[in-house]
Amino acid sequence: MKRLLSTAAAVTLLAPAAHATEIEVAYAYSSLFDPTFAQITQAFEQAHPDIKVTFRATYENYEDATNTILREAVAGTVPDVSFQALNRQQILVERGIAQPLDPFIAGEEGFETEGYHKAMLDLSRFDGAIYGLPFSVSTPIGFYNMDMLRGAGIDTVPATWDAVIAACKAMTANGQEALYWHWDISGNWMLQAEMWSQGVPMIKDGKLNMDNDAGLKALETAHAIFRDCEMKNTGGGDASKAFAAGELGMFFSSTAYVSFVDRSKLGDWEFVTAPYPGLDGTPQALPAGGNAAMMTSASDDPELRAAAWDFIKFATSGEGAAAVALTTGYVPPNQKANALLMDDFYAQNPNKMTAVDQLPLLSEWFAYPGDNGLAVTQVIHDSLEAILVGDATDMEELRDEMVDEVNALLPR
């Protein structure tokens, strides 16, 4: 392996400088990112003994991250650096909470050669300015317990939702818990995946673009998954633990969970990942998930802001991105990460290669425009939950009600 971030056993941190600059950082999903930030912070503080990093309480999810920082902005208690979902950046830009990074980038000699390629930077570009640096990028994928599938007479990974549902029925008949589709993941991401799979954007001309056949098909697919797979009403976190324990046959969620499953896996069963199922074949597109590092400091102290920039730059550098790849299943958004990984990293970690193979399908993870964006997310969440618990059975009626309610919340 080429030189990479030092492990906890190998690194002895330098003692903090007597007058170290202290920055506060906040991020979401502790179960996914705690190992990542532990590794990054050790290396960062060794390289920057004059900067002390203090972490805020972890955000539960991306909606919590946005809600929390909006409240903190009113109270004047925002962290200096906040890792926010790619689809939630715009509201922080519009509210003046996120600070443009262009002045810092301009002061970095050779920044354009540091692995930050334009396509990734564009994920955080608004009105021509860059407000974040990409930290992690993901796509939805399939997680499979091949022993359970084979036990139900299924030898190959299902490639379409019809095949997934057929596998569910065989596994259920075999007395197994078949599937969890992570419907409640942040930002209605999985429903957006069903729309993009058909090549149809979730938002068009500022409105919810589901009053069409594609929207109906997406909801009908969710209905079939919930009903025909007898899916339990548990959270995605619990489902990931059940999968890692060998108690669940299939799990459809973010590639971010790959390392979690590797670390938590109980028993000697075959774990494989595969591309996200399509409706009639390979998906036409998929939403780009993940988050970006944003400077949200309210301080005018140039020393503190410079320290916050140093942490953002380090966390998203090739070294930081390599740590993301090693400790999660995210795709490194910095091209230099590959030079720091083992030459045969993906050959040795094929379950992490699935998301890399899906990169050509990456499309926008839509944020709902206007001040009611989080409320729109909740309306769609509640509609999916109504399907799951059996309160909604007529998908056309549900679609029409959801479209009307959402569009009433969006800017006119």
Q: Where are the domains of the chain?
A: 21-138+288-362, 140-287+368-409
Instruction: Provide the mean pLDDT of the chain.
Output: 92
What is d(CA 364, CA 49) in angstroms, rounded to the nearest whole number? Answer: 39
DSSP annotation of 184 reads T
Question: For the purposes of burial, counting CB atoms within 10 Å of the CB of 59, is it exposed (0-12), middle (13-18) or buried (19 or more)?
Answer: buried
Q: Which of 237, 23, 96 is nearest to 248 (CA)?
A: 237
CATH top class, domain 140-287+368-409: alpha beta
Q: Which of 3, 89, 11, 77 is nearest to 288 (CA)?
A: 89
Residue 305, H or E segment:
helix 302-315
List the beta bridge partners of residue 53: 23
Q: What is the pLDDT of residue 342?
A: 67
What is d(CA 108, CA 390) in angstroms, rounded to the nearest whole number? Answer: 56
Q: What is the pLDDT of residue 261?
A: 96
| Per-residue pLDDT band at 18 (split at 50, 70, 90) | low
Q: What is the pLDDT of residue 310?
A: 97
Q: Which fold has domain 21-138+288-362?
A: D-Maltodextrin-Binding Protein; domain 2 (3.40.190)
Q: Is the pLDDT of residue 5 over 70?
A: no
| Per-residue pLDDT band at 392 (split at 50, 70, 90) | very high
Four-residue CA torsion sign, 27, 30, 32, 34: positive
Predicted TM-score of the model (pTM): 0.88
Q: What are phi and psi of 88, to 5 degrees?
A: -115, 5
Q: Is the pLDDT of residue 389 over 80?
A: yes
What is d(CA 327, CA 317) in angstroms, rounded to the nearest whole number? Answer: 15
Q: What is the pLDDT of residue 9?
A: 38
Other Cβ atoms closer than 10 A to 300? 7
Spatial neighbors of 155 by CB under 8 A, at least 6 apart, are 149
| Per-residue pLDDT band at 322 (split at 50, 70, 90) | very high
The mean per-residue pLDDT over the stretch 53-57 comes to 97
The mean per-residue pLDDT over the stretch 87-112 comes to 93
Report the range out of 14-18, 224-228, 365-369 with the highest average pLDDT: 224-228
Asked whether the domain spanning 140-287+368-409 has the same topology as the one spanning 21-138+288-362, the reply is yes
